[in-house]
Amino acid sequence: MSKVETILANMKAVAANPKQAIADAQAKTGKAAVGVLPVYAPEEIVYAAGALPVGCWGKATKNISKARTYLPAFACSIMQSIMEMELEGVYDDLKAVLVSSPCDTLKCMGQKWKGKCPVIQFVHPQNRNLESANVFLVEEYKLVRKALEEALDVTITDEAINKAIDVYNENRQAVRKFLEVAADYPQVIDPVARHAIMKARFFMDKADHTAAIKELTAELEAMPKEAWKGKKVILTGITAEPDEFLEILKEFDIAVVADDLAQESRQVRVDVPEGDEPLMRLAKQWQNMYGCSLATDRDKDRIPMICDMVEKYGADAVIYCQMKFCDPEEFDYPLLYSKMEEKEIRNLMIEIDQQASSFEQIRTRIQSFVEMF
Amino acid sequence: MYTMGIDIGSASSKVVILKDGNDIVAGEVIQFGTGSSGPQRALEAAFEKTGLSFADMTKVVATGYGRFSVEQADKQISEISCHAKGIHFMVPTARTIIDIGGQDAKAIKLDKRGTVSQFFMNDKCAAGTGRFLEVMSRVLEVKLEEMADYDSRATEVVSVSSTCTVFAESEVISHLSNEIPKENIIAGVHASVASKACGLAYRTGLEEDIVMSGGVAQNAGVVRAISRELQKNVIVAPNPQIIGALGAALFAYDEAMKAQ
C-alpha cells in the first residue's frame, strides 16, 4: 500500500467509524470529548480546555423514529438524526455539547437537548458588520468559556486559547492547500475520498489531522498530473452526504474540484485573525466569514464567489446540494440559479437527505446532467 | 434496420421498435413497471405484433427507472434525454416538455436542436404525479380513464391544497363526506397536479411550444388544468406514453449509425 493509499484508508476509517476514532484519540491523549453541532462554533476554546472537539453532523441512513416526538417532520435530516442519537444516548459520554443558533431548527435543538451531557448554546450576531456585533459575540464566548470550565473542571487561559487558535489556523491553511492540490488529482482524490478527508477532521485531534493532511498533500504534489476525461464540478450546500450520492458522481466520472459545503470548505474558509484578546479574535472570525447562507450578507457575495470558483477551477458545472428542508439554502438557490443561467454555467440542484435509502432519482438526474454536455 | 427502445417506468413498461430511425412499427405499453412482469410482456407484445425478435434489433437502448435491469440493452440513457429526443422527433417545435409519469414529474427545456439545456424533476414526493391520481381515483371510485370526463362536467374547481398525497387523500374524503360533486373534486385534484407540474415548468422559462408527454398527458383534465395555470397552449404529444421509449429507439438508431 502506498503512503497516499494508507492515509486515505485511515481517513476513510475515521470518517466511517467516528466512535472508534474518538476512542482512539482519547486513548492517545487522555482528552475528554466535547460535541460541536453544526455549523460554526469556537472550537478553539474547547481545544484550549484540553478537550477533544467532536463534530456532531448526524449519521447517514440512520433510522429515524424517536426523534419524531420532538421534531416536526420538516426539520432537516441532520437534526433528525442528531435528535435520534440524543435520545439513544449516543452523546452521553460527551462532557458537553456546543450548539450555535444560525437557523430556526438549531435554535430549538439547543433549547430541547435530550442528551445527558450539558448543552452550551450560544448565538452568533447576524448584524455582523457592526463593531458591537463583536462585543456581543465576545460576551457569548465568555459564557461558552465559563460553561466549559464548569463542565470540564478546568481553567481556560487566554494563552491556551491563543495557542489553540494557532493549531486551528494551521489546520485550516493545510486543508485549504490540500484542496487546491487535490483538484489536480481527481484520479486519486475521488469525491468519496475527498469527503472522508474533510469529515475525518471532525473526529481527529486537529494537530494530527494537520500532520496527515500535510503528508498527503506532499505525496500528491510529487505525483505526475494526469488529464481528466470526465467532468469537473463544484459542490455547494450544507453537506453532500450520504456517500451513495458521491459514489454516483464517481460512477459517472465526475470529479469534485472545489466545494462550498458548510460541512467541508466553509469550515476552513476564514482564519482567526491576529490580535491580543483571543475571544475578540474568535469573534472577528465570524465577522470575516463570507459566502455562507447562514451568515447575513446583504451583498450576497456567495453568488459571485461560486461563479468565480467555476472559472478558477475550470469546472464544467455546479451541483447545488440542497439539504431537504434547509430554509437558508432554499433562499439562496434562486439567486444563484439566475446568475448561473445568465453566465451560462451548467448547474444542477440535487435534494440531499442524509437518511435517503433510494438513490435512483439522483442517479437519473446525474446521468441526465452528464448527457447534457 | 430495426432499433429498439425500452422504457421501464415505475408504473408501466413501454417498448418501441423503429424501422430505419423513422417508422414506428411497434409501440407497446403494459401498465406494470419495474420489478414486475411488465417489461417482459411489453417485449412479447412488440415481437408478436411485428414478428421480429431481439436478433433483428441492430441496437437496443433502455431508459426509465428500470433501465439498468435490461440485459439485452446495448446502452442505458436517462429518461430526461430520451423524452427530449422523442418529443423533438414528434414535435420539432417543442421548447418545453412537461412529462408526468407514475412517480416522477419533469420539466425539460430544449434548444432548437432538441438538446436538453435544463431540466427539473419533482423531489421525493408522489404529489403531482400519476401515483397521486391513482390514489385519488381509488378514493373517488372513478376509473383513471374516466377522470377527464368527470372534470369536463365540473361547475367549480374545489381546492385540494395539501402538499402531501396522504393528507390530500383525507382532504378529498372530507369533500366527499360534505357531498361535494365528484366532478368538482376531480377538477380540484387535476388542478393540484397541474400546480405541482407548473411549479417545475415555470423554472424553465416556459418557451413555446409547450408539449406534454408521459401517461398523465392522456388525461385531458390535467392538460386543461396545466394550460389554464400557465395561460398557454399545451400540445399533447401523439401517443404520449411511448415518448421515452421512442427517444430510446432513436438513440439506438444513432448508436447503430455510429457503429457503421
For range B72-90, the mean pLDDT: 95
The answer on B66 and B8 residing in a single domain is: yes
pLDDT-derived band at A138 (thresholds 50, 70, 90) equals very high
Taking only the tens place, the pLDDT of each residue in B136-154 is 899 899 998 899 999 999 9
Please give the distance of CA B38 from its chain centroid, rounded to a whole number: 16
- Mean pLDDT score of chain B: 91
Q: Which residues of A touch B104 (CB under 8 A)?
A: 361, 364
Partners of A324 on chain B (C-beta within 8 Å) are: 123
Helix (H) or strand (E) holding A236: strand A231-237
Residue B230 and residue B130 in one domain: yes
**Do both B14 and B99 map to the same domain?**
no
Pinpoint the alpha helices (H) of chain A: 3-16, 18-29, 43-48, 77-88, 104-111, 131-152, 158-182, 191-200, 206-221, 243-251, 265-268, 278-288, 302-313, 327-342, 360-372
CATH for B7 = 3.30.420.40
pLDDT reported for residue A55:
96
Type of residue found at A257: V
State the pLDDT confidence band at B171, using cuts at 50, 70 and 90.
Answer: confident
List residues bridging with B93 in a β-sheet: none
Question: Residues of A with CB below 8 A from B76's CB?
Answer: 367
Q: Do B80 and A368 touch (CB under 8 A)?
A: yes
Higher pLDDT, A132 or A361: A132
For chain B, what percent of residues have pLDDT higher than 70? 98
Map grid coordinates 476512542 to a residue: A23
Position A355 pLDDT exceeds 80: yes
Question: Chain B within 8 Å of A209 (Cβ-Cβ)?
Answer: no
Q: Is residue A181 part of a domain?
A: no
In the predicted structure, residue B80 carries a pLDDT above the cut 80:
yes
B1/B53 same-domain check: yes
B77·A371 Cβ contact <8 A: yes
Higher pLDDT, B101 or B85: B85
In angstroms, the CA A213 to CA A229 distance is 26
How far separated are the first and last CA of chain B, in Å rounded? 12
| A346 domain residue, yes or no | no
Same domain? B10 vs B97:
no
Residue A249: inside a domain? no
Predicted local confidence at residue B91, as pLDDT: 95
Whether residue A260 lies inside any domain: the answer is no
* High-pLDDT (> 70) share of chain A, %: 100
Instruction: Return the residue in B63, B108, B123 with the most chain A beta carbons within 10 A, the one to mutate for interface testing.
Output: B123
Shared domain for B180 and B200, answered yes or no, is: yes
| Residue from B97, B121, B203 whose CB has the most chain A CBs within 10 Å, to mutate | B121
| Of residues A109, A36, A98, A110, the one with CA closest to residue A72 | A109
List strands edge to edge, sheet with A254-261: A254-261, A231-237, A317-323, A346-352
Same domain, B87 and B117: no
| Torsion on CA atoms A293, A294, A298, A304, rounded to nearest 10 | -30
Torsion angle (degrees, nearest 10) of CA A166, A167, A172, A176: 100
Q: Nearest 10 degrees: CA dihedral of B250, B251, B254, B260?
A: -110
Q: Pull the grid cell for residue A138.
A: 465576545
Option in A337, A360, A368 nearest B116 (CB): A368
Which amino acid makes up residue B139? V
User: Can you tell me the mean pLDDT for A105-130?
Assistant: 93
Number of domains in chain A: 1
Q: Which residues of A touch B77 (CB under 8 A)?
A: 367, 371
User: Among all chains, which residue has been given the C-alpha cell 406514453?
Assistant: B241
% of chain A surpassing 90 pLDDT: 86
Domain that holds residue B150: 93-236
User: Cβ contacts (< 8 Å) between B79 and chain A: which residues?
Assistant: 364, 368
- Whether residue A151 is contained in a domain is answered as yes
Looking up residue A40, the CATH number of its domain turns out to be: 3.40.50.11890
Claim to verify: residue B219 and residue B254 sit in the same structural domain: no
| Separation in Å, CA of A361 to nearest CA in chain B | 8
Mark yes or no for CB contact A368/B78 under 8 Å: yes
Residues B41 and B162 in one domain: no
Say yes or no for a CB contact (<8 Å) between A351 and B65: no
pLDDT at res. B124 = 61
In a domain, A107, yes or no: yes
Same domain (yes/no): B82, B174? no
A367: nearest CA partner in chain B: B78
Chain A residue with CA closest to B251: the answer is A371
Cβ of B124 and A353 within 8 Å? Answer: yes
Q: What is the pLDDT of residues B88-131, one digit of tens each?
A: 999 999 999 999 988 889 999 999 899 999 999 887 677 788 88
Interface ipTM: 0.83
- Residue from A318, A354, A360, A370 to probe the interface with B (highest B Cβ count within 10 Å): A360
Identify whether A130 is part of a domain.
yes
The residues that bridge with A119 in the sheet, in sequence order, are: A97
Identify the CA nearest to B38 among candidates B56, B65, B61. B65
Minimum CA–CA partner of B63 in chain A: A364
How far is B62 from B74, CA to CA, in rounded Å? 8
CA angle B46, B49, B54 (to 5 degrees): 45
Q: Is B121 within 8 Å of A372 when comparing Cβ atoms?
A: no
Helical axes A158-182 vs A206-221, angle rounded to 10°: 30
Structural domains of chain B, count: 2
Which residues numbered 295-354 in A keep a CB inside 8 Å of some CB on B?
324, 337, 341, 349, 351, 353
pLDDT of residue A249: 98
> Has residue A339 got a pLDDT over 90?
yes
- Write out the residues of chain B at the interface with chain A, using a CB-CB cutoff of 8 A: 65, 76-81, 104, 115-121, 123-124, 203
Is A353–B116 a contact, with Cβ atoms under 8 angstroms apart?
no
Cα gap B200→B30, rounded to integer Å: 28
Residue A186 has pLDDT above 80, yes or no: yes
User: For residue A79, is pLDDT > 90?
Assistant: yes
Phi, psi of A208 (to 5 degrees): -65, -40
Of A259-273, B14-28, B91-105, which gets the smallest average pLDDT? B91-105
Same-domain status, B248 and B227: no
- The verdict on a CB contact (< 8 Å) between B78 and A353 is no
Residue A110 lies in a domain: yes
- B190 and B201: one domain? yes
Cell of A369: 446532467
B80·A341 Cβ contact <8 A: no
For residues B18-24, average pLDDT = 95
Q: How far apart are CA A176 and CA A171, in angstroms?
A: 9
Which pLDDT band holds residue B135 (cuts at 50, 70, 90)? confident
Contact A365 B121 (CB under 8 A): yes
The domain in which residue A45 lies consists of: 29-157
Bigger pLDDT: B128 vs A72: A72
Segment A194-240, tens digit of pLDDT = 999 999 999 999 999 999 999 999 999 999 999 999 999 999 999 99
Report the share of chain B in percent with pLDDT over 90: 70
Asked if pLDDT for residue B163 goes beyond 70, the answer is no
pLDDT score of B81 more than 70: yes
Nearest to A367 among B78, B118, B120 (CB): B78
